[in-house]
Amino acid sequence: MSVLLKHPERFMPKALANPTICIDQVDTGYIETLIGYNARRAALAVIEVFLQRLAPYKLRPVDFSVASLIVHNPGITSRQLCSTLGILPPNLVGLINMLQKRGLICKRPHPSDGRANGLHATATGIALLRAAETAATAVEDDVANNLTLAERKTLLRLLKKVYL
């Protein structure tokens, strides 16, 4: 009940708001033409499965991305992780500390920049990430089971064309 509009009928011309009509099947025609809408829905669908299947490794998508990049880029800095993944530095601090507390990564002084730390995966971290990447790839195979291999390659190529 609106407390602002004392005369809501002013905004309800009969041609626009017929009270006798109700919607059986929602028409999503327009918003489904939008890349942004579809990309977001697809991403959320994948993330939902991802969260379940990577729960044993206690890695959310961001944790996984960061840890995976450290494994594949030994010596990478926080700053490089931030610009690569679009994370803001303050929001990466806790994540890095968590990975370190879990013994998955460690910090070493940067060879040429005293301000920075080189991030390195530990043996434990490498082993965990190997298993986690296998699980993540399985998730992909799962959510993409309605796509042929060619379609999947096409999808990745077209998505990169949007954001790169």
Partner DNA sequence: TATTGTTATACTCTATAACTATA
Partner DNA sequence: TATAGTTATAGAGTATAACAATA
Residues 50 to 69 in contact with DNA, rule: CB under 7 A: 60, 62
* Cα–Cα distance measured from residue 74 to residue 4, given in angstroms and rounded to the nearest whole number: 59
Residue 11 beta carbon to a copy of itself: minimum distance, rounded to whole angstroms: 4
Q: Quick one: which segment of 23-31, 65-73, 110-118, 121-129 binds DNA (CB under 7 A)?
A: 110-118
Contact 98, 59 (CB under 8 A): no
Which of the listed partners (DNA, a copy of itself, none) does 134 bind, with a CB threshold of 5 to 8 Å by partner kind? none
Residues 6+ apart with CB under 8 A from 125: 67, 70, 71, 99, 103, 104, 105
Q: Contact with DNA (CB under 7 A): which of 93, 131, 138, 155?
A: 93
Burial 79-90 (b: 16+ CB within 10 A, else e): eebbeeeebeee
Residue with tokens 């918003």: 31
- In the list 91, 124, 134, 137, the residue contacting DNA (rule: CB under 7 A) is 91
Stretch that binds DNA, among 14-22, 86-94, 129-137, 140-148 (CB under 7 A): 86-94
Binds DNA by CB under 7 A, chosen from 96, 99, 105, 128: 96
What are the φ/ψ torsions at residue 34 (nearest 5 degrees)?
-90, 125
CB of 60 or CB of 152, closer to DNA: 60
- Answer for which of 59, 64, 70, 78 binds DNA (CB under 7 A) is 78
Nearest by Cα to 77 from 123, 122, 112? 112
